[in-house]
Amino acid sequence: MTMTKIHLPPSACGRLKNGSVPPPLKNIVRDLVIVITLMFILAGLLNFALGGGYLFNLRYCLAIGLSITLSSHFLMKWRNAQNIHWQTSLAAILIGTTVGIIIGTLANGINPVSLIEKYPGLLLALLVVSLICGPAISYFFHSQAAMSEAAAALRQEELERISYEQRLTEANFKILQAQIEPHFLFNTLSNVLSLIQTQPEKAGQMLSDFTAYLRASLQQTRCDRIRLEDELATVRSFLDIMAVRMGNRLSYRIEIQPELLSVQVPPLLLQPLVENAVEHGIDPKPEGGDIIIIAYLAADMLQIEVSDSGDGITSSSPVGVGMNNIRERLNLLYNGEASFQVLPNSPHGTTIRLIIPLHREGKQ
């Protein structure tokens, strides 16, 4: 079975690449090379300490060392584990020692059965050496594996953190970009210019709404959380500007329980939804319409709804950039605990419902 990790671009339409060597085989070769090298050294040491000849010792060492290594790989594969576990190691040492002693004895031309009767000293020595060296070798591989595993986990964690931050920054940047959209800026300024001559007071009001809106957009994108009250103030500035621009085709209502004014929400979460409701809901209708924003508590979650009385969404209506952006930010900020629903209104229009975990002021 081969495993291939693929990275698909969002619009991938080509074919997927396949390839790369599966890692377990590489590991087994590497481990065998290390074990064989160690066994050549160990055989020398044992020959020096206990005698019996280098080749005699080497046959035993290789037989036992390779048996332990192979049986631990076999057990890992059988248990479908990625790394060595102490129980696996223990079983591998016991099985490997037994099999290794039998093979080594045969290789040295001795009948294994006679080992118990004729050479109990040799058997004891073999067992003692195996049970000391086996765990030592096993520990060496174990710590190697644990080290590389820890390094991989650290790398993965770092990668995830970077990608999280990158996505969040990107989402925030897009929101800011949408806030200072040129059509909105220049049309609003043109309105102010028009009103200055005929209705200076109204022009002044519009300019101060515009200032509040711009200031909030620029400042709040730098905060992690703001008070719902502040977000609603930005929304009000926006709606007041649009009501003037659209020649009173737009009316709105905000209903919120007073105790919810101070809850903490991510900045510019509501505003793009309201903008969407005006642009795609109300503006296309010559007679205009209403926007209703309500916020309430349900099952300990903060629920916010933005409804419009527009023509509603059809199956092929484009999914607004703003909507995707908010979905993405909610997923990143609340780790899947928040939800975003689009509901058709009866008889017409759309409601967007946000359900997000409640954050009171001063609490995280």
4-12, 104-112, 258-266, 354-362 -> range binding other proteins (CB under 8 A): 4-12
180 binds other proteins (CB under 8 A): no
85-93, 144-152, 253-261, 278-286 -> range binding other proteins (CB under 8 A): 278-286
Q: Exactly one of 26, 106, 343, 361 binds other proteins (CB under 8 A); which one?
A: 343
348 binds other proteins (CB under 8 A): no
CA distance 350 to 280: 10
Nearest-CA neighbor of 207 among 221, 193, 217? 193
For residue 276, give the amino acid letter: N
40-48, 93-101, 148-156, 335-343 -> range binding other proteins (CB under 8 A): 335-343
245 binds other proteins (CB under 8 A): yes
Q: Exactly one of 66, 70, 76, 244 binds other proteins (CB under 8 A); which one?
A: 244
**φ, ψ at 238 (rounded to 5°):** -60, -45
CA distance 252 to 244: 12
- Taking the least distance from each CB to other proteins, the nearer of 43 and 277 is 277
For residue 320, give the amino acid letter: G
Nearest-CA neighbor of 269 among 236, 234, 309, 294? 234
Q: Exactly one of 316, 347, 363, 364 binds other proteins (CB under 8 A); which one?
A: 316
CA distance 322 to 47: 77
- Taking the least distance from each CB to other proteins, the nearer of 18 and 364 is 18
Q: What is the DSSP track for 94-131?
A: HHHHHHHHHHHHHHTT--HHHHHHH-HHHHHHHHHHHH
Q: Least Å distance between CB 270 and other proteins?
A: 19
Pairing of strands 289-298, 250-256: parallel
Bridge partner list, 291: 252, 308
Q: Exactly one of 218, 324, 357, 361 binds other proteins (CB under 8 A); which one?
A: 324
Residues in 188-207 at the binding interface with other proteins, rule: CB under 8 A: 189-191, 193-195, 197-198
Query: Tokens at residue 209, please?
Result: 């709404």
- Taking the least distance from each CB to other proteins, the nearer of 187 and 262 is 187
Q: Least Å distance between CB 163 and other proteins?
A: 13
Query: Tokens at residue 214, please?
Result: 């711009």
Number of shown-chain residues binding other proteins (CB under 8 A): 55
- Taking the least distance from each CB to other proteins, the nearer of 6 and 116 is 6
Q: Exactly one of 145, 323, 332, 358 binds other proteins (CB under 8 A); which one?
A: 323
Query: Tokens at residue 344, please?
Result: 């058709």
Report how far apart, in Å, the C-alpha atoms of 347 and of each of 273, 343, 350 are. Answer: 20, 12, 10
For residue 219, give the H/E element and its range.
helix 200-220
Residues in 287-306 at the binding interface with other proteins, rule: CB under 8 A: none
Contact 133/42 with Cβ under 8 angstroms? yes
Q: Least Å distance between CB 352 and other proteins?
A: 10
Query: How long a stretch of residues is the chain?
Result: 364
Residues in 54-113 at the binding interface with other proteins, rule: CB under 8 A: none
186 binds other proteins (CB under 8 A): yes
125-133, 163-171, 216-224, 245-253 -> range binding other proteins (CB under 8 A): 245-253
Contacts of residue 165, defined as CB under 8 A and 6 or more positions apart, other chains included, come to none
Residues near other proteins (CB under 8 A) are: 1-6, 8, 10-19, 182-183, 185-187, 189-191, 193-195, 197-198, 244-247, 283-286, 313-319, 323-324, 327, 336, 339, 341-344, 350
